[in-house]
């Protein structure tokens, strides 16, 4: 029986069915959001003749939602811990539907940027979906849960961009947002009607031992690996995002290949992640923290070697293969680290901790995109992947330092050592 569920619901809603339902909802909703993703600069260019405003808006339209999530994810996580994560999922999906519908009718650049910020601030679907999944899945399978949910985001992003391009070829940008709003509204209804309610876990009373409870409430920061884990995860995400703004220019300039090959390279990174993430999750789910960090060190070293190779090769075939292998290694990073982050918190604070992790991800993505654009302008495109390798070296230093720190006990359930 699923913990916290009425017995009748547990019989008719096995965990595996609910996990794949979460996968489908996230795939469709994230795919709906990515339908417009690649085409915002095209739409914004039609709304202004000012080059400076267009340059600002074409960056802000992507950074705005990230900033909104960064500023609100921990708050929504606390609300989910108190009132239930299903409610937060419904709130987020409804927010996506409403903002996409409003964006369909917005023809002013500043209004579009405001709505994109509100989209991130009012929505932020991924963190409550992760927290809901944690509440129904066994602790030993959390790495696989996070891998499945991140795969759904990657698949949705790939499919959404293709569908959005087809719509734009046949109709207008207005219909991309309308279709996206309809899909998000459908996901809202499906989540509300089919996902069982999981009662929030109540914190123990603080009246009997207030000093002990105060220490426990601070333990996710003072007596656990939460902060170094978030640091490592943030640096790895920053490294991944460094070539984002200069990728197409780098590939086109260095290798002189067609746009189709550029798109192939970009897609292979996601494909490598999709194909490897669940296998990595199964590999890591029976490892304890020390074993996981030891193997993660090897993965980061491999990422350093691959990105150095990507930055020094002038053979497009080698570059394409390197990008696919890099994506396969990335499947062992964020989902596994998110599982460790989840285990630092007890059941009553999963939403808050995962909200902080989601905010960390958004901050790292913003920092990576911004730093990558700045570094490519200052030092040139040719050093792009050497800077990525440098970021991985920093992550490696933090990993090694964490491995040799004083051992700590994870707050949540931890798999046994082998």
Cα-based angle 408, 416, 331 (whole degrees, multiple of 5)? 85
Residue predicted with more confidence, 393 or 42: 393
Q: How far apart are CA 222 and CA 216, in angstroms?
A: 9
Phi, psi at 245, each rounded to 5°: -75, -30
Predicted local distance difference test score (pLDDT) of residue 222 = 59
User: What mean pLDDT comes out for the span 71-95?
Assistant: 88
Predicted local distance difference test score (pLDDT) of residue 409 = 46
Cβ-contact 160, 28 below 8 angstroms: no
Class of the domain covering 1-196: mainly alpha
Predicted local distance difference test score (pLDDT) of residue 149 = 86
The model's pLDDT over 15-39, given as tens digits with 9 standing for 90+, comes to 888 888 999 999 999 889 888 877 8
Q: How far apart are CA 118 and CA 275, in angstroms?
A: 33
User: What mean pLDDT comes out for the span 193-208?
Assistant: 72
Predicted local distance difference test score (pLDDT) of residue 321 = 93
Predicted local distance difference test score (pLDDT) of residue 205 = 54
On the question of pLDDT at 274 being above 50, the answer is yes
**Percentage of residues in the chain having pLDDT higher than 90:** 31
Per the prediction, the chain carries an average pLDDT of: 83
CATH 1.20.1250.20 fits 221-405, yes or no: yes
- The domain ranges of the chain are 1-196, 221-405
The model's pLDDT over 373-401, given as tens digits with 9 standing for 90+, comes to 888 888 988 899 999 999 999 999 999 98
Predicted local distance difference test score (pLDDT) of residue 239 = 94
Predicted local distance difference test score (pLDDT) of residue 6 = 40
The model's pLDDT over 326-374, given as tens digits with 9 standing for 90+, comes to 999 999 998 888 888 888 777 777 778 888 888 888 899 889 988 888 8
Predicted local distance difference test score (pLDDT) of residue 203 = 63
Predicted local distance difference test score (pLDDT) of residue 322 = 94
Most confident of 46-50, 223-227, 339-343, 405-409: 46-50
Predicted local distance difference test score (pLDDT) of residue 212 = 45
Predicted local distance difference test score (pLDDT) of residue 187 = 95
Residue predicted with more confidence, 196 or 404: 196
Cβ-contact 136, 15 below 8 angstroms: yes
Q: Is the dihedral of CA 247, 31, 99, 122 positive or negative?
A: negative
Ranges 96-105, 186-195, 208-217, 319-328: which has the least confidence: 208-217
User: What mean pLDDT comes out for the span 54-76?
Assistant: 85
Full-model pTM = 0.76
Q: How far apart are CA 154 and CA 148, in angstroms?
A: 10
Residue predicted with more confidence, 261 or 100: 100
Confidence of residue 405 (pLDDT cuts 50, 70, 90): low
On the question of pLDDT at 3 being above 80, the answer is no
The model's pLDDT over 157-189, given as tens digits with 9 standing for 90+, comes to 778 878 888 888 888 889 999 999 999 999 999
The model's pLDDT over 226-246, given as tens digits with 9 standing for 90+, comes to 888 889 999 999 999 998 877
- Do the domains at 1-196 and 221-405 have one common CATH topology? yes
Predicted local distance difference test score (pLDDT) of residue 250 = 86
HEC sequence for the chain: CCCCCCHHHHHHCCHHHHHHHHHHHHHHHHHHHHCCHHHHHHHHHCCCCCHHHHHHHHHHHHHHHHHHHHHHHHHHHHHHHHHCHHHHHHHHHHHHHHHHHHHHHCCCHHHHHHHHHHHHHHCCCHHHHHHHHHHHCCHHHHHHHHHHHHHHHHHHHHHHHHHHHHHHHHCCHHHHHHHHHHHHHHHHHHHHHHCCCCCCCCCCCCCCCHHHHHHHHHHHHHCCCHHHHHHHHHHHHHHHHCCCCCHHHHHHHHHCCCHHHHHHHHHHHHHHHHHHHHHHHHHHCCCCHHHHHHHHHHHHHHHHHHHHHHHHCCCHHHHHHHHHHHHHHHCCCHHHHHHHHHHCCCHHHHHHHHHHHHHHHHHHHHHHHHHHHHHHHHHCHHHHHHHHHHHHHHHHHHHHHHHCCCCCCCCCCCCCCC
Most confident of 55-59, 98-102, 215-219: 98-102
On the question of pLDDT at 214 being above 50, the answer is no
**Which of 113, 112, 87, 104 has its CA nearest to residue 35?**
104
Q: How far apart are CA 348 and CA 345, in angstroms?
A: 8
């Amino acid at each position: 029986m699923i913990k916290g569920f009425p017995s009748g619901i547990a019989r008719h809603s096995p965990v595996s069915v609910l996990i794949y339902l979460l996968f489908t909802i996230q795939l469709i909703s994230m795919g709906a959001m990515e339908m417009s993703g690649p085409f915002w600069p095209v739409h914004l260019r039609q709304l202004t003749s000012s080059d400076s405003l267009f340059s600002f808006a074409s960056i802000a339209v992507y950074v705005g939602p990230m900033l909104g999530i960064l500023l609100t994810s921990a708050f929504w996580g606390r609300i989910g811990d108190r009132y239930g994560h299903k409610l937060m999922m419904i709130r987020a999906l409804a927010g996506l539907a409403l903002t996409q519908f409003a964006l369909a009718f917005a023809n002013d650049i500043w209004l579009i940027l405001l709505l994109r910020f509100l989209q991130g601030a009012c929505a932020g679907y991924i963190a409550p979906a992760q927290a809901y999944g944690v509440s129904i899945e066994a602790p030993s399978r959390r790495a696989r849960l996070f891998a499945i949910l991140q795969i759904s985001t990657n698949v949705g992003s790939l499919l959404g961009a293709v569908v959005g391009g087809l719509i734009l070829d046949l109709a207008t940008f207005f219909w991309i947002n309308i279709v996206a709003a309809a899909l998000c509204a459908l996901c809202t209804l499906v989540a509300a009607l089919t996902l069982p309610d999981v009662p929030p876990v109540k914190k123990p009373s603080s009246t009997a031992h207030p000093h002990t409870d105060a220490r426990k409430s601070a333990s996710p920061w003072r007596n656990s690996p939460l902060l170094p884990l978030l640091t490592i995860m943030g640096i790895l995400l920053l490294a991944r995002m460094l070539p984002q703004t200069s990728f197409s220019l780098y590939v086109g300039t260095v290798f002189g290949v067609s746009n189709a090959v550029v798109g192939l390279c970009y897609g292979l990174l996601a494909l490598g992640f999709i194909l490897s993430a669940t296998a990595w999750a199964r590999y890591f789910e029976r490892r304890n923290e020390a074993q996981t960090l030891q193997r993660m060190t090897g993965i980061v070293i491999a990422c350093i070697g691959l990105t150095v190779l990507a930055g020094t090769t002038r053979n497009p075939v080698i570059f394409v293969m390197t990008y696919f292998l890099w994506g396969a290694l990335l499947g062992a990073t964020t989902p596994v680290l998110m599982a460790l982050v989840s285990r630092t918190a007890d059941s009553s604070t999963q939403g808050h901790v995962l909200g902080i992790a989601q905010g960390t991800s958004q901050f790292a993505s913003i920092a990576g995109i911004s730093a990558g654009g700045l570094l490519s302008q200052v030092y040139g495109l040719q050093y792009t992947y050497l800077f990525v390798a440098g970021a991985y070296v920093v992550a490696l230093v933090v990993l090694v330092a964490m491995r040799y720190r004083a051992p700590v006990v994870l707050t949540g359930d931890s798999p046994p050592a082998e």
